[in-house]
Structure 1
Amino acid sequence: MVLLVIASVFLLCGTLFQSPEVAAFKPLFKDGSLTHREITQMAILRKTAEVCRDIATARGREFTLTINNRLTPSAVQKACLASSSSALFYLAITETYLSNAAVDVLFALSEARHIDNEAFSEGRDLITRGVAAVKASVQQGSYISARNTLGTLCHTLQDFYSHSNWVELGSSSPFSALIKPDRLLDNLAGPNTPTCKSCAGSNCRDNILPEILLQKKLTSGYFSVFSSQKPAGKCSHGGSLDRTSSREPTGGINKDDVSSDHGFLHLRAAEMAINATMEVLQDIRLATGDQAFLRLVGLSQTSVLAFVIDTTGSMSDDIEEAKRVSFSIIDSRRGTPEEPSEYILVPFNDPDFGPLTRTENADIFKERINSLSASGGGDYPEMCLSGLLLALAGASPSSDIFVFTDASAKDSELKSTVRAMIERTRSTVTFMLTSPFLFRRRRDVSQSKSFTSRSMPSSDKQLYRDLAHVSGGQTIEVTKATLFQATEVITDASTSALVTVLQVLRSPMIAENISFILDPSLFNVTVYITGDSPVFTIYNPTGVSQSGSVADGPLGSILTVGNLKRVKLNSDNQTGEWKISIDSTSSYSLKVTGQSSVNFLFNFVEQLEGGDFTPKDNRPFMGRNSTLFVSVTGGDSVTLTDVLLVEASGSDVVNGTIKSLSATDFLVSIARIPEWAFVVQLKGLLNDSTRSVPSRFQRQSPTQQQGSRVTITAQASSTIEPGIPSVLNFTVATNATGSSYIIRARTDRSFSVSFPSSLDMGTGGSAQGNVTLTAPSDTQSGMDVTLTIEAEDPDSGDSNYVAVRFSVMTKVTDFSSPVCQVVRVKADCPVECSTGSWELSANLTDINGTGIAGVSLSRGNGSFSLSHVMSGDGTNVTVASYNASCCSQEVELVVVDKVGNVGTCFTSIKSPSTTASPNDSTTISSDEAVSTKGSSTVRPNLTTFTPSASYSVSFSMCVTVLGLFVFFLCG
């Protein structure tokens, strides 16, 4: 649990708007306490394992993984037989728990966010609205927004068990009313009801009044850093910075860590928080389905095939090649673990770009790309960066995006915005630049048939090279006749578990020897060299060499096309240190990739005392210290020897100081953020149980990072509702005073945005502004939008950005779950179960709601059908009829309405433990169960059961509420 009081001090001191120098390095764990990070990760791993276990059971496959709090992402991924990279799984978990931790900075003083001051109703509203937003985002495929929102709501949910007296009341299960708004928040301590007595010195074990415990009254601690005032007799949160805890009754009841006033209950509260988080995850799973849930947690995603294609007149050959290579990838990998999990397509020309096609269905992607045709032309430059920006927003993080064009970018003013999106999403962009034989048609109608020979200016190519280098991609320059050879890099990139071992850019050029390490986990290793005149020789660990002019040699095969040389290394004897001796008369880039389960994630973070840390989503402050949180994925144990910030186009290095947090997690202290652009490089040892000696490994982030001397932060205060303007405040701060900064703001969906064109820093070196954002009135609920705000010093060119992601949500008034009524069960099962079957009929209704959207089975392997009838009172009724073998004795129906409210209906024909009277009703509340035995007729409309049949019927209803809630991260 996170100490709220420390986060409050951070906020009060204005650290959100100051340089990172105020952040100090502090221990991540203390005295065995659990943080929000650990609680969230444990819950996600356990629930994900349960989903995979249920899928395996339904498919008749054995699932042997023990589900407990000691699960690791790699263990869960292996047990789930997931083909996705473990890095993607860990990335989804990381996104969720970092957004959880960010609540302590973004909303440090919010009593509702932390369930302080007995704000139970307000806190529940935040939780249920958050759950609704997660479901809507998942339905739209907006998984990043869903994870951010999930982390935020889980913080409030988890704080309940630390900040209230639920654990002290002897509760053994989560307080389900927090996620079910139709449940009463009953037995709350009244505003004038005393709840605590003063602690006996430092001993607060018995400070909750006995009558509160006896009557099971629910309360939470009061907290303030400003004043000691609180209602008479109320409990305090506690801690040195809680001023209310010094006022009678003194002390506190929080269980944030083992040293807190009620720290003796910390581990019980943490376990309760894990179970409550799993309860929310289960509700989301039932509403969205197993496959969507696995996408939410990043487990079912493999590679992404993403194309941004120029569709003007001279691009017909390029479009045909894009079709050929994409169809080849789809057809050759369909049904295999290497099949792309998502397809992205964005066409562009002038003046149009888009629409974005994002689909998991390969046939839909084929249809869309097949419909593209080259036509028109106009003036030479096209809206390339606008199309790329749309793709960056739509694709998953760390995607490979390929841009096909033979024209300059007409919208080059978007370069800084595109760069910011590349940095934020860490996606790799490769430009396929073809040389047209004929220049495009002029806009003048009289010249519509006039063509002229012209190649792309070098300065325009440099724009593409710069963006490719920032992303870790390449700029491949070929003729249209040889494009089909260059597209081999697309086939290479659209594979799962692709990692970057090394990437360097040299400009100005120097002759040098560059070394890199290949470890045993790597396969399909490829070396790419792009440049006009590189001459190279490659050496393996034993000294065997091959010149770059030899197409097929002892080390691999070399493809030369345009400015690209692609070296596919042979699979034999790769492990060890390799070397490339390279010389060139012009700038060049070198990239080494391979497939491996071992990769890493990193985030610049600000750490909070007490355990957790919050992410920095913009550039770190140049020249100041900073902290990296690094996670190595794909292995159960690694030893990091080096974490380096390496100059992106040079050889300078900044070393980090490494502190191990676990077998795979590390905090790295960076003494100084350099002035040059850099990449993060890792070196270390893989501790593999199958090998007696650890093996050396090396990985590198493909995307460049850079520091800045200006910071920009923003905090959203409300959700975005279609058609209604929303105002977002932001702050720009720098060490310089009196400067004027250029302000730019743009969304990835071209929503209406108004903002100041510039801000003057004044004598204090900071200024505030606001952006008004309006989503079109027809925007679908659950769609996400990213607003990027940039601040640039016009004199130095130094800039920074903040990217805030919103979910667009319409107002929802349906707060009721679907209702299930079992009306008929017929079970006459013989001793040999395989020779008999049983039937069930249930009426499903959503009275005064939005209507039933879907019915599915979460348990049972029989068949069911649906029909629709009108009841006598005019209510629309969905009748579910289920039939199964007597060997399958249980069924659970999941009913979801159109806004995501969920109901479950469970029935079993196993021998019951209780017997209902003949007049008992089968309309059962969510916490009740009815069992019937023998030949009694339960209701007049039920069938009469044979004496040999025994069965039980129980009904469980899970209720969720939709509302408006969005999570955002500040810089």
Structure 2
Amino acid sequence: MTKAMNQIADANAEVDNDQTHSALHFDGENFAGGQSRVVGLFANVVADLKGENAAQARTDFGGALHTIQDFYAHSDWIELGNTGANPDLGRPGHTLGPVAGPTEGTCNGSLVTTTKLTSGYYGGEDVAAPAGVAKCRHGGPFDHGPGSGGINKDLNNSLFSPHSTQHAAAAAAAIAGTEQFIRDIKAAVSARQLKLLLGVGPTLGMSIDTTGSMGGIISSVQAQAIQITDKRIGTDEEPSRYVLAPFNDPSVGPLTTTDDPVTFKNAISALTASGGGDCPELAMSGLLQAVGAMDEGSDLFTFTDADAKDADLADTVSNLAASKDIRIYPMLFGNCTGDLAARSQQPQAQQPQANQHAATGALAVPAFTAPKPFQDVARATGGQVFALSTADAGSITQLADALVRSNAVNLLNVSTPLTAAGQSVTVPVDSTLSRVTFSASGAAASAQTVTITRPDGTTVAPGDPGVQVISVPNSAPATITTITAPSAGSWTVTLSGSGTTSLRVTGESGLDLANFRFLPTDEVSTDPARTGVRAIDGFPVAGQQVGADGTLTDGFASAHFELRAPDGSPVQSLGLSQYGNEFAAPITVPSVPFLVYVTGVDTAGTAFQRMLPGVVTPQSLVVRAPPSATLVPGTATSFAFTVANLGAADTFSVTATDDHGYVRSATPATLTLDAGATGTVTVVLQPPAGTADGTTDALTVGAASGARRNFAVLSNAVLAAPPDTTPPTVTATVTPTPNAAGWNNQDVTVALAATDEPGGSGVASVTYSTGGASTTVPGASATVPITTDGVTTVTYSAVDETGNTSSGQVTVRLDKTAPALTCQATPDHLWPPTFQLMPIRVSVTVADGLSGPGQFTLQSVTTSSGPHPQDIVGWTTGTADTQGYLRAMIDGAHDRVYTLTYQGVDVAGNVGTCQATVRVTVLPPLLLRRIA
């Protein structure tokens, strides 16, 4: 379970390596994008689990949790007075809100001024704060955007989080939000699928030779594997994942990966022995397929009676297994020399038992040497080799029952020569251990005696209470002893005999060395904001400084890290600084192979010891992997790996192998590099058409020259289409079209239309605001009516189903009000009526408080007594004519009134009119005023 939690935690931290997409962090008020991302990842997790792709499910799950947790740390959910989870977050069909509009101010520095949902803008992301609007900042030393202050609550440290005082409340809400998300997943999957996601229960993995000579062995292994499976169903030790990888010649598979014990039992029961032809078999190909399918931190058991025809893959198997902390246990029932080679050519019925004397029928210790490839993979991964008789096939399978446990921990792994006088190894057993297993395999020994002594000085015997011994009396020396409820204290294992033996001590405990990584030195820091750390590829370089980073689970009071040689002798003490359960510091890599140990005292005051069983071999060359990419079925994808030679000039052979067989080419096959030189290896992967979505391929690229060798592992997921990283395109169409000056004089409709690129995830929603609250419309279009006079800015955005966001704005200028015109003639009265043409000037003004005044024109000049064109001279209608001549003429005994009509427009095109009058009076104007 610890390894599954580490995978989820690493995927969570990896999100912080992308500081350009606001949807990943709910930054910049991109709530639509963040919600779409979480909903999409939820669907992915469910599909991954139903497809039994645990690794991808944990990656998607961890990524979703980061975004969920950022919602509470980066938004004002807490500042608005909320506690607990947002009930809409991550749920399909739900929207988050109400959300502050793009033109609505939300912060004054670090003070939240809105009652709506908002989040801080972060410099360099795909959504920038609107200019001139008082928006909240994310804040802290890494936010380089404009403005000051901030509202992030990531840490309880004001240097990094301006709202650090509300960190605890945000963390509590994030925990509640995480629990809500897990409950939603639980409701969507089966109980077994949920256990697979969380790594509840170990992984049981087997790779079995199914060629003709393996019939009797297969029958024994089948019976024991089914028995182990049956007795664990419904218990805490029920495996969350079963992996079965048969191999034959010339093919391997079919691979079975399942969370269903019935499916596993059916698959293993269906195995039969046939074919094979020549003796060497494709053992490494079977192991590679199994390792690729297994969870991190697992144990893999392989059964064969032949050499490996594909021994050139041993390094690849070791490297991939080491990168996933998988121990490999080769169970060998022969090799391809002597009688065994002849036996492999015979039908099963004619074959003698592997270790049976033909004359007497008595079973004897098998006289064969474990082939080197199997020794190499066991040593590199921290497993063990067993040289066995066919008669002991069923018994040795019980080793899987002893080692494959839910809370398995590693205490010791040494390989040492035996002497007649014997040597003793001390193993501290702490108070947290409920079981301990001592496994000593003398596959390379001709004789071996193992004595286990308790802290009180008594010797462990097979019949003692709580003691179980796995007996393999017909095989090479091996002692496998499991002790339940061991007493705390110093236990002693005494080994004697001749040849070489390997001793592994494992147990069950909640106190574990959960993780240990070598990091680039610039990743080792006391910075509490450090996340998204990536370990170096392959083995570290001898003599170089690297970061060492280890994590212990709860249960310890003190801890000290050290490096030991494979024989258990000390190599180097590591002075790592403690940060809670994490320990880190720069170290200088030694030049000899080593294993990582941690010792200390548990919370009960007893000494404890944990270790990582895989051997680390420092090197003088480095292989660096490029970033992961999505693989598309039927499409070739190239990856450029870098090989750097940090030692003497040399020529290195290059290998590129993956667990699904997608490699199409790897060039060049060799690299000749001077000291300090760097070369590039290009690998092309192409999954076949029809490859299932979510399939995860592990590509291992290695470079080697003799003992100088290193590797890098790159995991890539298969999707039917590449991930959509392109935001949708969104356009705004204003109807009616504004005039040349940009104004409308009738109600306006803004039509928003979003489109995603071909093959994209599709548009999820369109959001717009006209200055107040935002409105989100599902789908790819929205209509915005503008009916109020004035200048309205429509801010809009579109988000696709992946969370990519694009935004824009359009300004609508609407003026439906006619301009105000005033006209005044000078003079406006004529007397006496001299019948002469008199000069007249008209003053015309056009006023408009919205779009502004436009031009005016003279529309007409008329008289109160009908048309008299000879009395109206010098006026040109249709122009801005303001002066001409009018005749001072009366109409008999009546006044004549001249009316000059003007029409004016505003910039929007609205029309207004005014009239100026000139009166020719019969009486003098003064007299008229007196009469009036």
What's the TM-score, normalizing by structure 1? 0.64
Q: Provide the secondary structure at the position in 1 that maps to 2:499.
A: coil
| Alignment gaps of 5+ in structure 1 | 1-87, 198-203, 689-693, 814-898, 900-924, 927-959, 966-971
Deviation of residue 505 (structure 1)?
Answer: 0.7
Q: Distance in 1 between matches of 2:538 and 2:318?
A: 12
Name 2:266's counterpart in structure 1: 367
Q: Distance in 2 between matches of 1:428 and 1:772?
A: 29
Asked if structure 1 preserves the Cα contact closer than 8 Å seen for 2:524 and 2:584, the reply is no
Q: Is 2:402 the counterpart of 1:481?
A: no
Distance 1:278 1:577, change over 3 A: closer
Deviation of residue 351 (structure 1)?
Answer: 1.0
Name 1:599's counterpart in structure 2: 512
Distance 1:558 1:371, change over 3 A: closer
Q: Distance in 2 between matches of 1:488 and 1:222?
A: 56
1:219-234 superposed matches below 5 A: 219-224=119-124, 231-233=131-133, 234=135
Name 1:562's counterpart in structure 2: 475
Can you list the C-alpha shifts for 1:711-745, whole angstroms capped at 9, x where unaligned?
Answer: 44445465444334445555455646987755433
Q: Distance in 1 between matches of 2:141 and 2:512?
A: 41
Distance 1:632 1:774, change over 3 A: same
- What letter matches 1:499 in structure 2? V
Deviation of residue 264 (structure 1)?
Answer: 3.6
- What letter matches 1:471 in structure 2? T
Distance 1:508 1:119, change over 3 A: farther
Distance 1:517 1:224, change over 3 A: same
Name 1:396's counterpart in structure 2: 295
Name 1:671's counterpart in structure 2: 587
Name 1:157's counterpart in structure 2: 68
Q: Distance in 1 between matches of 2:127 and 2:66?
A: 25
Bigger proportion of residues as helix: 1
Name 1:319's counterpart in structure 2: 218
Distance 1:502 1:484, change over 3 A: same
Deviation of residue 706 (structure 1)?
Answer: 3.7
Can you list the C-alpha shifts for 1:257-307, whole angstroms capped at 9, x where unaligned?
Answer: 3312333433333333333333332332222244422331223x2x44322
Q: Provide the secondary structure at the position in 2 that maps to 1:722.
A: coil
Deviation of residue 409 (structure 1)?
Answer: 0.7
Deviation of residue 145 (structure 1)?
Answer: 1.7
Equivalent of 1:580, from 493, 501, 515?
493
Deviation of residue 676 (structure 1)?
Answer: 2.9
Q: Provide the secondary structure at the position in 1 that maps to 2:375.
A: helix
Can you list the C-alpha shifts for 1:412-470, whole angstroms capped at 9, x where unaligned?
Answer: 11112111121122222211111375535899x9x999999999997871211121122
Name 1:943's counterpart in structure 2: none
Name 1:405's counterpart in structure 2: 304
Q: Distance in 2 between matches of 1:351 and 1:166?
A: 61
Residue identity over aligned pairs, in percent, reads 27
254-263 vs 400-409, which moves further? 254-263
Q: Is 2:357 the counterpart of 1:439?
A: no
- The alignment yields a C-alpha RMSD, in angstroms, of 4.4
Q: Distance in 2 between matches of 1:368 and 1:963?
A: 38
What's the TM-score, normalizing by structure 2? 0.66
Equivalent of 2:574, from 646, 650, 656?
656
Distance 1:763 1:343, change over 3 A: closer
Name 1:826's counterpart in structure 2: none
Deviation of residue 363 (structure 1)?
Answer: 3.2
Asked if structure 2 preserves the Cα contact closer than 8 Å seen for 1:378 and 1:441, the reply is no
Q: Provide the secondary structure at the position in 1 that maps to 2:616.
A: coil
Larger Rg: 2
Q: Provide the secondary structure at the position in 2 that maps to 1:352.
A: coil
Name 2:712's counterpart in structure 1: 801
Distance 1:188 1:744, change over 3 A: farther
Equivalent of 2:535, from 602, 607, 616?
616
Q: Distance in 2 between matches of 1:580 and 1:129?
A: 54
- What letter matches 1:644 in structure 2? E
1:67-216 superposed matches below 5 A: 88=1, 90-105=2-17, 107-172=18-83, 179-180=90-91, 182-183=93-94, 196=107, 204-206=109-111, 210=113, 213-214=114-115, 216=116
1:503-652 superposed matches below 5 A: 503-506=413-416, 512-531=423-442, 532-536=445-449, 538=451, 540-541=453-454, 544=457, 559=471, 560-568=473-481, 574-604=487-517, 606-607=523-524, 609-613=527-531, 614-616=533-535, 618-619=537-538, 621-622=540-541, 623-633=543-553, 637-652=555-570
Deviation of residue 408 (structure 1)?
Answer: 0.9
Asked if structure 2 preserves the Cα contact closer than 8 Å seen for 1:686 and 1:697, the reply is yes
Name 1:218's counterpart in structure 2: 118
Distance 1:133 1:558, change over 3 A: closer
Asked if structure 2 preserves the Cα contact closer than 8 Å seen for 1:719 and 1:809, the reply is no
Name 2:685's counterpart in structure 1: 773
- What letter matches 1:516 in structure 2? V
Name 2:412's counterpart in structure 1: 502
Asked if structure 2 preserves the Cα contact closer than 8 Å seen for 1:620 and 1:673, the reply is no
Deviation of residue 407 (structure 1)?
Answer: 0.8
Q: Is 2:174 the counterpart of 1:273?
A: yes
| Alignment gaps of 5+ in structure 2 | 356-365, 725-760, 762-776, 779-798, 805-932
- What letter matches 2:180 in structure 1? E
Q: Provide the secondary structure at the position in 2 that maps to 1:344.
A: strand
Q: Provide the secondary structure at the position in 1 that maps to 2:446.
A: coil
Asked if structure 2 preserves the Cα contact closer than 8 Å seen for 1:220 and 1:237, the reply is yes
Distance 1:217 1:768, change over 3 A: farther
Q: Provide the secondary structure at the position in 2 that maps to 1:590.
A: strand
Q: Distance in 1 between matches of 2:607 and 2:45?
A: 41
Distance 1:189 1:103, change over 3 A: same
- What letter matches 1:375 in structure 2? S
Q: Distance in 1 between matches of 2:393 and 2:184?
A: 49
Q: Distance in 1 between matches of 2:800 and 2:41?
A: 9
Q: Distance in 2 between matches of 1:235 and 1:739?
A: 57
- What letter matches 2:560 in structure 1? D
- What letter matches 2:3 in structure 1? L
Q: Distance in 1 between matches of 2:126 and 2:118?
A: 25
Highest RCO, 1 vs 2 (Cα 8 Å, sep ≥ 6): 1
Equivalent of 1:420, from 311, 319, 323?
319
Bigger proportion of residues as strand: 2
Deviation of residue 310 (structure 1)?
Answer: 0.9
Q: Distance in 2 between matches of 1:162 and 1:677?
A: 44
Deviation of residue 95 (structure 1)?
Answer: 1.9
- What letter matches 1:666 in structure 2? E
Name 2:139's counterpart in structure 1: 238
Distance 1:763 1:163, change over 3 A: farther
Q: Distance in 1 between matches of 2:571 and 2:271?
A: 46
1:883-894 superposed matches below 5 A: none
Deviation of residue 120 (structure 1)?
Answer: 4.4
